[in-house]
Amino acid sequence: MSAALPAGLQAYFDHAAHAAPSIRDLLPLYAEQLGGRFLYGGDNPRVGYRGVVLGFAGGGKVELLEPLPGSSFFDSFFARHPAGGLHHLTFRVADVRGAIDRARAAGFEIVGVNYDEPEWQEAFVHPRSGHGVLVQFVESNPDYPRLAPGQTLESTLAGEA
């Protein structure tokens, strides 16, 4: 396996994701201490999680994740990290299919390929070949996702988004 993706892949860091049993447990650090402001969020019932994205001074973003009731999505992750931790790093690419082809050609194991959402097409480099970290490639419109009218952090945490 190559240590780096082949030259020519232009990837732009988008965000880091921290998963925990409860997003509310993460807010004292990320919102209160570090000053993160709510940008958007919502439930992903297809996969089984709720996410909240906070923005920080300088443009950085952190996605906070928790399992939806009855979901097994994070079971293996929480078996290894009971309190939670870094779940994935997300990079935006202009062509997700090209990024997948390049990564596979370099020997990286690709999982979770999803083209179902036209505005958010994604794939992941498995942690086994990503040096212990799940790395997400996303092809997306730069302003997607967006905050829904009237959406707040509290409505999102209540599952109303």
Q: Token digits for 10?
A: 């232009």
pLDDT digits (tens, 9 = 90+) for 94-126: 999 999 999 999 999 999 999 998 899 999 999
Residue 156 binned pLDDT confidence (cut-offs 50, 70, 90): very high
Residue at 125: amino acid letter: V
pTM of the model: 0.88
Euclidean distance between CA atoms 54 and 50, whole angstroms: 13
Each residue of 15-60: pLDDT tens digit? 999 999 999 999 999 999 999 999 999 999 999 999 999 999 999 9
DSSP secondary structure, 105-126, as one string:
HTTPPEEEEE-SSTTEEEEEE-
In terms of Cβ atoms closer than 10 Å to its own Cβ (0-12, 13-18, 19+), residue 124 is buried
Q: Which CATH class is domain 10-88?
A: alpha beta
pLDDT at 101: 95
Compute the distance between CA of residue 58 and CA of residue 28 in angstroms, rounded to an integer.
20
pLDDT above 60 (res 3): no
Q: What is the rounded average pLDDT of the residues 137-158?
A: 89
Extents of the domains making up the chain? 10-88, 94-142
